[in-house]
Amino acid sequence: MINDRMDEPEFLNNFLKKYNYSPYRCRVCGERFWSIVPREVCPDRPCSKYEFLLKKYPRVPKLTLEEARNKFINFFKKNDHGYMDPYPVLARWRNDLYLTIASIIVFQPAVTEGIVDPPYNPLVIVQPCIRLEDIDNVGYTFGRHLTSFEMGGHHAFNKPNKHVYWVDETLEYAYKFFSKELGIPEEDIVFKDSWWEGGGNAGPAYEVVVDGLELATLVFMKYKVVNGKYVPMDIKVVDTGYGIERIAWFTQRTPTAFHSIYGSLVDEYMDILSIEKPDYDVLKKIVYYLSDKDVASSEELSKYLSELGFSEYYDQMIKSIHLYTLLDHMKTLALMLSDGIVPSNTGEGYLARLVIRRILRTLYRLGFKVNEYRDIVLELMNRMIRYWIGKYVYGKFINNREYILDVLDYEVKKYTDTLSKGIRIVGKIIKKKSVGLDDLIRIYDSHGIPPEIVRDEARKYGVDIEVPKDFYAIVAKKHVQPEKLSKYKEEFLPRELVDWVARFSATRRLFHEDPYMYEFKGRVLGVKDRYIILDQTVFYPKSGGQDNDVGVIVLPNGEELRVVNVYKYGDVIVHELDHPVENKVKPHTIVKGVIDWRRRYRLMRHHTATHIILGAARRVLGDHVWQAGAEKTIEKGRLDITHYKNLSPDEVREIEELANKIVDDRIELKFKYMNKFDAEKKYGTRIYQGGAIVSKELRIVEIPGWDAEACFGTHLTNTGEVGGIKIVNVEKIQDGVIRLEYIAGTRLPEYSRELESVVEEASRELGVKAKQLIPGIRKYKRELNSYRELLENYRREFKQLVIKDIESSKDIICGNNIVLLVNSIGDEKLYRDIINYFVKKSYIVVYYSTRGLLELATSKEVVGKGVNLLNIVEKMKAMYSSVKGGGKPDHVTLRLGRIDSIEKVYSDIKSIISEMLDCVKK
């Protein structure tokens, strides 16, 4: 790609000339790079080794991760860059990504598209990021690949009328930072031509490489990628990524980056995992010699160690690599969970579960047994949380410790509970078919079984399965982006109206200015068929999970037209009427609008109740709770929240009590429009409960001290107006999502009347008064249990009589006992027990149920003697055209249709068995 873009002017700049950089072509990779001193090979791996590990740099100080971060931030602050606090790794402000994969993600698309100005220009930020596309390489590259890392970004946003800085300044900043701040010799700093694409943007780039390690990437984002084509952007963006962990590793020159990042925690993990500590100098030497090799599997590690003469260290090295994997994954998981991700089978929850399962898979590869996973995982996470206390953003680990450990405990238990069942299923799959990549992914997604376990299980059957070394990267790539951008299944504007509506200017939203207004006058801007657009309206459109208003539009002649739907397209509100209006009203006409106030007020109550309940759920269950969906109708409100397990009755009760306390507290709501970054700084990204909003200004609805959200809906002005909240239903609707349904205000007495009706009907059925309903139910239960016990006694006695009678009338064919059971009394449970009794004794059972179904059952031992019940089915179908059914060799079910008698069918079955066994009935 880079060779196709060599004509980009950014690759020929004044900085390179000013500092005497000359272009060279690497004889290994063929790519161009710029160096002060002549070179035949670029100093990037795999063209070069990690030369920095063995080289001495007299002027380079040893920097901890925190010191490297602070040095980067302070350098750019001194150079007039405004500092921004980092954002969460859970990218809630984006609808097209789950995770924050780079610092520029914070500013796409709102800033890069020119919708909103950045807080500072230029700015500096050190952003924790998560990328799972290279997850399989973690450990094997000794720290070059990490799933979570800190990206130091300095950004400049150049507008047509305001130039900040571009290529020359960016290269000079990098040059001065690495040479002056870090003390790296100028002749060791190399700039390598590159090209970058991501998040819908692209541009030329330089990689800053020093002695085998890429320390930064400098991107000049100038294109928007549209349908595979590069379209020039109005705003030219300097997008840099300095590897803070790599800088710390480079300055410390420890054997691996994990030693520079985690320090003493490396030894703690070794003790917990009973891994022998390697010789420091030997480890550094091995890492150096492997650094220009592509090692991504245990097989490749073994191969290269053998070639280099280090075979004796294989066991120690592979265990150390697994340890590095656990260090990395534990930190990544802590970041994910502390930012509120709930493991599940979809979305960002899928990615968190992928990391958890890879942790367990690593323990498996270290030789630990399943029953050891829980204690080890919890201890490793505890140590990880403790290590990062008070360090940068990682202090949130300790604040969310209870949730992190509880989720991990729950996930490990869930995994171990399903593992044995999953392995049995794997065994069945292996017996039936060859297993490829799609099967491995399906087994992993459906049953959570890592491909390594599938491979090991297949070997028991003499089957060799190839597991791609980048399996987890393949899986992660399928889930890094949402399939749909919208969180709600809204009724959108009919497609045929889009072009027409787009011509109109924004509608004044009277429903925001005064949500209690129920009538208004508006000027007609446009009419098309049964749709009408006004200059202002009090009609709320269906949006954000809240139903639209209904009501009437009154024409000047007094005619009333019913409003049945209201849509929002951009900033334009469209009213749909019950019949065409084109010939009845013209543009500029003044009309009157009246909404159904009772409906509106109920919607407002349920919407405000939704915000109250969300705040209550967060306080009871934890900060990980997030809105996964919501709906507000006149009948009830619905809130889907992210949570990893079912709610207990006590938790539901506590949420309800807290919510009603907020109602009783009569808190005044606040409504305001805020700049996007100001709102995020004040309230955090938690404001995006209803999904990301790309807008210069956000409408914030705040219940002071309780909840604040970017929300378009209509609300009450005081929580007391909700009147009261009752949660009427709680259920788990999918993995990681719990649904709460509730009612508020005047729906409460209606709900009470519904319950009263249920109580009255139940009382009538039991023949007691309403006040005696509970004692009556208890009495009924006691009597019912007594009758059940009596029934079981009768059933046992009757079972013995039936078995004795059947055994006395059994038939014997070729030494096989065969019996006919006819269920004449309708007790399916009884006869199922009798069937099992005879099957265990290796009888052939012919069972005719009261449902008109015929079942044949026997033991696998009898099948092994030649009595395959499926063969009997085929012969029965040939004899009786009405017979349908099938099953397994030891159990089949048939629907007979019209037959003369069950005795005749039984006789035919005996004849078929005699033929199959080639003998005479005895």
Lowest-pLDDT range, 28-42, 421-435, 516-530, 725-739?
421-435
pLDDT of 886 reads 87
* 377 alpha-carbon distance from chain centroid: 21
pLDDT of the residue at 544: 84
Return the exposure string of 259-284: e unless at least 16 CB atoms fall within 10 Å of the residue's CB, then b: bbbbeebbebbbebbebeebeeeebb
Q: What proportion of the chain, given as a percentage, has pLDDT over 90?
A: 70
Q: Cβ distance 667 to 705 under 8 Å?
A: yes
User: 709: which strand partners?
Assistant: 701
Adjacent-strand bridge partners of 128: 150
The pLDDT mean for the chain works out to 91
Q: Is beta strand 536-537 parallel, antiparallel or unpaired with respect to 508-509?
A: parallel
pLDDT digits (tens, 9 = 90+) for 627-673: 999 999 999 999 999 999 999 999 999 999 999 999 999 999 999 99
The residue-averaged pLDDT of 433-445 equals 81
Structure tokens at 432: 């039936």
Report whether pLDDT(321) > 90: yes
Note the Cα 539 to chain centre separation in Å. Answer: 36
Average pLDDT on 3-25 reads 79
Helix %, strand %, coil % of the chain (to 5): 45, 25, 35
The average pLDDT across 288-296 equals 93
Amino acid identity of 101? I
Distances (CA, A) of 215 to 192, 205, 211, 249, 685: 12, 14, 10, 10, 30
Query: In the prediction, which pLDDT does 432 show?
Result: 67
- pLDDT classification of 489: cutoffs 50, 70, 90: very low
Q: What's the chain's Rg over C-alpha atoms?
A: 36
Q: Are 676 and 696 in contact (CB under 8 A)?
A: yes
SS (H, E, C) 286-355: HHHHHCCCCCCCHHHHHHHHHHHCCHHHHHHHHHHHHHHHHHHHHHHHHHHHHCCCCCCCCHHHHHHHHH
Q: Answer yes or no: is pLDDT of 298 > 60.
A: yes
pLDDT number for residue 921: 44
Residue 616 tokens read as 């209550």
**Crossing angle of the two packed helices 373-387 and 401-432, in degrees rounded to 10:** 140
Tell me what pLDDT residue 7 has. 64
Per-residue model confidence (pLDDT) at position 484: 47
Q: How confident is the model over 173-232, as pLDDT tens digits? A: 999 999 999 999 999 999 999 999 877 889 999 999 999 999 999 999 999 988 889 999
Model confidence over 788-811: pLDDT tens digits?
999 889 888 988 998 898 888 899
CA separation for the pair 474, 226 (Å, rounded): 25
At 483 the pLDDT is 60
Mean pLDDT (whole number) for 862-868: 88
Residue 467 has pLDDT above 60, yes or no: yes
pLDDT attached to residue 4: 55
CB-CB contact of 889 with 910 (8 Å):
no
Nearest Cα residue to 453 out of 363, 378, 377, 374:
363
Tokens of 183: 């003390």
**30 phi-psi bin (left φ>0, alpha ψ -120 to 50, beta other):** left
The pLDDT, as a whole number, for residue 922 is: 41
Angle, CA of 863, 868 and 871, to the nearest 5°: 175
pLDDT, one tens digit per residue, over 582-619 is: 889 999 999 999 999 999 999 999 999 999 999 999 99
Judged by DSSP in three states, 533 sits in strand
